[in-house]
Amino acid sequence: MGLSFIFKKLALVAVTLTLTATSVAAQTQPGCESRCGNISIPYPFGTGDGCKISSDFFITCNTTFNPPKAFLDTSNIEILDISLDGYLRISQSIGYDCYNKVEPSYFATWMWFSKFSLSHTRNKFTAIGCDTYAYVKDYLGHTYSTGCLTFCDNITNVVEGSCSGIGCCQTAIPKGVRSYHVTFGSSNNHSKD
């Protein structure tokens, strides 16, 4: 799943994190919860004392949802999948910058992980819209910054399914990223979208 930032609406996106622990075992610790709703919780993750390898691998199972939802630690980072090949998929809000003459709206997104890094092979930074520039940079140490820009005369010029710079652009996520902050804008306040 790709790391996507869409500038027309707020939604959720799946982000894949690389687990830095040793190989993930297929078994849950004895006496520990093996599932939270639709999510399997293999060791080194766990929901209680003695069920996880460290506090970085603590899963909160929120049973107020139907089905229950798994969250990383006590944060609002929803877990979508824990794979046995060393990846954790999470849900994250998408940033946006919407032009409206009466009431423009803007939402920048950021995230910081203490133990995990974004998978540079399973994520792409994506910007969608005409007259849009976007960049992602390190939220903490300012060790990287990358981005892209996209132009088109009208949103009808965009070829659906294509991300070649006409209404959509993508760039790679650097290896080892543990935090990010997304910034975006427009030369003409997205008034040509």
CA pair distance 166, 155, nearest whole angstrom? 9
* pLDDT tens, position by position, 140-191: 766 788 899 888 887 777 888 888 888 888 999 888 888 888 888 887 766 6
pLDDT of residue 193: 47
**pLDDT, tens digit, 9 for 90 and up, residues 101-141:** 677 676 777 788 777 888 888 888 888 888 888 888 887 76
Residue 189 confidence (pLDDT): 66
**CA 101 centroid distance within chain:** 30
Q: What is the pLDDT of residues 179-191, one digit of tens each?
A: 888 888 887 766 6
Give the model's pLDDT for residue 3.
34
Nearest to 167 by CA among 147, 148, 146, 140: 148
Six token digits for residue 60? 């909160």
Q: Is residue 39 over pLDDT 90?
A: yes
Give residue 46's identity as a one-letter amino acid code. G
Give the residue from 192, 134, 115 showing the smallest Cα distance to 158: 192
Q: What is the mean pLDDT of residues 35-45?
A: 91
CB of 132 closer than 8 Å to CB of 186: yes
Q: How far apart are the first and last CA of the chain?
A: 26
Ordered by start, the domain boundaries in the chain are 3-14+92-185, 35-85
> Cα separation of 18 and 7, whole Å?
27
Element (H, E) at 4: strand 3-6
Res. 8: pLDDT tops 50: no
